[in-house]
Amino acid sequence: MSRQSNRTTDSKKMNSELFTLTYGALVTQLCKDYENDEEVNKQLDKMGYNIGVRLIEDFLARSSIGRCQDFRETADVIAKVAFKMYLGITPSVTNWSPAGDEFSLILENNPLVDFVELPDNHSTLVYSSLLCGVLRGALEMVQMAVDVRFAQDTLRGDSVTEIRMKFIKRIEENLPAGDE
Amino acid sequence: MADEAPFQFLHNEVLQYIYKSAENGETDNGRNIAKLENMGFRVGQGLMERLTKDTARFKDELDIMKFVCKDFWTCVFKKQIDNLRTNHQGIYVLQDNKFRLLSQLSAGKQYLEQAPKYLAFTCGLVRGALSNLGVKSIVTAEVSVMPACKFQIMIQKM
């Protein structure tokens, strides 16, 4: 019992480490299973997509956020609410394209890579590809087709991690008439 | 991280992945379980290392088990183990009446045959955690009624 006192406070942090480590174990396994990094990236992205299409429901149910009016609002919700809720960080939104259909998320510290060092022979591995898939999948479920990719990655020597998001098109709704 | 949803979703995807590669026919069920268990093992090791950073030395095996039941379980599953039993000869049974990874699945018998998949990773987690405290063990799990399950830990004498 005496041992318990000082630890309750960082249980949140521990939980993120559980996620980080589990993700690490997954990437390790994928690297064993596939021969080249491209395949691993693709697989991670696919798994992320599968997570995203489910995570969006959890997100909408809990955040009580309605439909976004434009892409700028979407960017804000992603950075300030979604990232905060699930990863405990708030990326900054920058580098808007003049047309307002493209922006960057700058992650100061990416929780997925907390204990990671990339070995030299995995130079083309995009370690956090999962995130791209999650964003793509989640947005697709709210009728937005978006292209997501990593533009910079601290794991590969860049000073920040940058996720570039580009709006492609609105997905037409096929709801039956009168169904909202 | 303020949230456990990402872990649960990720865990589901890991299962999906491991079992899908099996459908292509190369691997049998035992291999899959072993793969999941090994992934859990590595994660358990890492977690335990982080978790015991500032704790006092453990008195004995039982002390370690209590730590696993309370702190480790709380850290991973947000609750303590509900019941810890032992025969004092190296066998421990940890019972969780509402196991987090099963509680979303079913509260009856419907998906009982799927349950072992959802336990393998956690078995590894516990084994890895213990191994980092110098306890070599075999961990198995059984479910009779979801979402309750029992983890049996057999200590291997060095």
Distance from C-alpha of B25 to C-alpha of A55, rounded to nearest angstrom = 31
DSSP string, A26-85: HHHHHHHH-SSHHHHHHHHHHHHHHHHHHHHHHHHHHH-----SSHHHHHHIIIIIIHHH
State the pTM of this model. Answer: 0.87
A123 in contact with B, Cβ within 8 Å: no
Residue boundaries of the structural domains of chain B: 5-155
What ipTM describes this predicted complex?
0.89
Task: Give the residue-averaged pLDDT of A109-118.
Answer: 84
> Tens of pLDDT along B85-142?
999 888 999 999 999 888 888 888 888 888 888 999 999 999 999 999 989 999 999 9
Nearest to B97 by CA among B116, B84, B110: B84
Nearest to B64 by CA among B46, B76, B51: B51
Whether A15 and B7 lie within 8 Å, measured CB to CB: yes
Structure tokens at B16: 């999906």
Residue A155 · residue A113 · CB < 8 Å: yes
pLDDT for the residue A6? 43
Task: Report phi then psi at A93, rounded to 5.
Answer: -100, 120
Tell me the pLDDT band of B69, cut-offs 50, 70 and 90. very high
Tell me the pLDDT band of A121, cut-offs 50, 70 and 90. confident
> Tens of pLDDT along B20-42?
766 655 557 778 888 899 999 99
The chain B residues in contact with chain A (CB within 8 A) are 1-7, 9-14, 16-18, 21, 35, 39-40, 42-43, 46-47, 50-51, 54-56, 67, 70-71, 74-76, 78
Distance from C-alpha of A38 to C-alpha of A46, rounded to nearest angstrom = 12
Fold (topology level) of B5-155: Muramoyl-pentapeptide Carboxypeptidase; domain 2 (3.30.1380)
pLDDT for the residue B158? 67
Distance from C-alpha of A112 to C-alpha of A124, rounded to nearest angstrom = 17
Task: Give the residue-averaged pLDDT of A136-155.
Answer: 93
Nearest to A94 by CA among A116, A72, A111: A72
Nearest CA-CA distance, residue A24 and chain B, Å:
8
What does pLDDT average to over chain A?
Answer: 86
A34 to chain B: closest CA residue: B21
A2 to chain B: closest CA residue: B56
- Spell out the residues 6+ positions from residue A64 whose beta carbon is closer than 8 angstroms to its own: none
